[in-house]
């Protein structure tokens, strides 16, 4: 699919497939086209070219039927802040057309899922950041969607809350919900996604399971060398002489591969190494 905004091409010929029951991660820096891709899947942006099919429905014509079976967790919190936790879920139970007889049970289920049962009567503006995120996810799931679209689900949250959400998302996937998740956190993609599509400037630069991508493009391990700028330049020269690839990360140089004789911190290679190798840019 292709999407242009005037001169700018936000999504330039992206192919994306989310197999049923798996979690696919869209990984890329800000401005890579992840959010635009998400918006096209709910017909809030219309593709200029290409075909989109969501859960068997062809977009944009059948998008309403597709939207009924999708849940969306937006990047920006758009809960109704003067309403309570339960009222927010009630509104979405109506918007997603849950029949009257099943509505209350669906709300209770969502409250349990997000572990917010004892906050049901609390106004949203009195919830913590982590609780709001959990409610945002519960709101997207109240109608038991087949596909969950998560746009940067843990952006701006502290590490503890992030891990809590990871457990929640992992749990959903293990129960069979298909998930498409955009993120610019390497660790998030590596932990949660069965398959990762690495995006840059609106198109996919690599697709595959995280471990396979790392093995294929970055090798098993990397050596991180810290030091003053002069020392870093020296290391870069030495590594290139050995035929190894390097990348700068501000205060250090990462040398991909074994890097014999280099005095540094050895670590497993990761998706960020893959991204940098493939595009020459940093993700964060």
Partner 1 sequence: MNGRLERSALSGVLVREVVNFSSFWKSTTFSSTVQPTIYLIAFGFGFGSLVTTVDGYDYVEFVATGTVATGVLFASVFPAMFGTFVKFQFQRTYDAILAAPVDTEELVTAEALWIAGRAGAYGSVPLLVGMVFGLDPAWGMLTVPFIGFLAGFGWGSCGIMIAGIVKSIDGFSYVSAALLTPLFLVAGTFFPLTQLPHWAQVLGNFNPLFHCVQLVRHASFGWQGWADVGHLAVIVGFGLVMWRLAIVFLQRRLID
Binding residues for partner 1, rule: CB under 8 A, are 3, 5, 36, 39, 42-46, 60, 64-65, 67-68, 70, 72, 74, 76, 78, 80-83, 87, 90-92, 94-97
What's the min distance (Å) between Cβ of 56 and partner 1? 15
Beta sheet of 221-226, edge-to-edge order? 246-248, 252-256, 221-226, 265-268
How many Cα neighbours within 13 Å face the side chain of 33?
A: 27
What's the min distance (Å) between Cβ of 200 and partner 1? 21
Whole-angstrom distance, CA of residue 256 vs CA of residue 239: 9
Structure tokens at 78: 């758009």
Whole-angstrom distance, CA of residue 249 vs CA of residue 226: 10
Give the SS3 label for residue 119. helix
What's the min distance (Å) between Cβ of 226 and partner 1? 42
In this complex, which beta carbon is closest to partner 1, that of residue 120 or of residue 248?
120
Q: CA angle at residue 184 from 221 to 71, to 5 degrees?
A: 130
In this complex, which beta carbon is closest to partner 1, that of residue 95 or of residue 211?
95
What's the min distance (Å) between Cβ of 20 and partner 1? 21
Residues in the chain: 284
Whole-angstrom distance, CA of residue 266 vs CA of residue 268: 7
Structure tokens at 29: 């820096």
Percent helix, strand, coil in the chain, to 5, is 40, 25, 35
In this complex, which beta carbon is closest to partner 1, that of residue 56 or of residue 209?
56
Whole-angstrom distance, CA of residue 54 vs CA of residue 67: 9
In this complex, which beta carbon is closest to partner 1, that of residue 62 or of residue 170?
62
In this complex, which beta carbon is closest to partner 1, that of residue 90 or of residue 276?
90
What's the min distance (Å) between Cβ of 272 and partner 1? 30
Q: Nearest to residue 180, comparing CAs of 139, 151, 204?
A: 151
What's the min distance (Å) between Cβ of 94 and partner 1? 4
Residue 167, phi-psi category: left (phi > 0), alpha (psi -120 to 50), beta (remainder):
alpha
In this complex, which beta carbon is closest to partner 1, that of residue 42 or of residue 258?
42
In this complex, which beta carbon is closest to partner 1, that of residue 177 or of residue 246?
177
What's the min distance (Å) between Cβ of 66 and partner 1? 9
């Amino acid at each position: 699919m292709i999407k242009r905004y005037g001169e700018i091409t936000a999504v330039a010929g992206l192919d994306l497939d989310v197999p049923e029951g798996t979690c696919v991660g869209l990984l890329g820096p800000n401005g890579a086209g992840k959010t635009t891709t998400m918006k096209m899947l709910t017909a809030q942006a219309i593709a200029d070219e290409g075909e989109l099919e969501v859960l068997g429905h062809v977009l944009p014509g059948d998008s309403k039927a597709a939207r009924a079976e999708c849940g969306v967790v937006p990047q920006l919190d758009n809960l109704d802040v003067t309403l309570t936790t339960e009222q927010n879920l009630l509104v979405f139970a109506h918007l997603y057309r849950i029949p009257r007889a099943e509505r209350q049970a669906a709300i209770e289920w969502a409250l349990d899922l997000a572990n917010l049962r004892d906050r049901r009567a609390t106004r949203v503006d009195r919830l913590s950041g982590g609780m709001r995120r959990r409610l945002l996810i519960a709101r997207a799931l109240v109608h038991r969607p087949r596909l969950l679209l998560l746009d940067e689900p843990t952006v701006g949250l502290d590490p503890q809350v992030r891990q809590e959400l990871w457990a929640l998302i992992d749990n959903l996937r293990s129960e069979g919900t298909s998930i498409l998740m955009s993120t610019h956190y390497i660790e998030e993609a590596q932990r949660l996604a069965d398959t990762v599509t690495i995006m840059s400037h609106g198109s996919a630069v690599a697709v595959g399971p995280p471990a396979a991508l790392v093995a294929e493009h970055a090798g098993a391990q990397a050596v991180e060398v810290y030091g003053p700028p002069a020392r870093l330049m020296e290391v870069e020269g030495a590594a290139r002489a050995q035929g190894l690839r390097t990348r700068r990360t501000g205060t250090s140089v990462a040398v991909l591969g074994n890097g014999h004789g280099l005095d540094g911190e050895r670590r497993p290679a990761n998706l960020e190494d893959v991204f940098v190798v493939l595009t020459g840019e940093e993700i964060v």
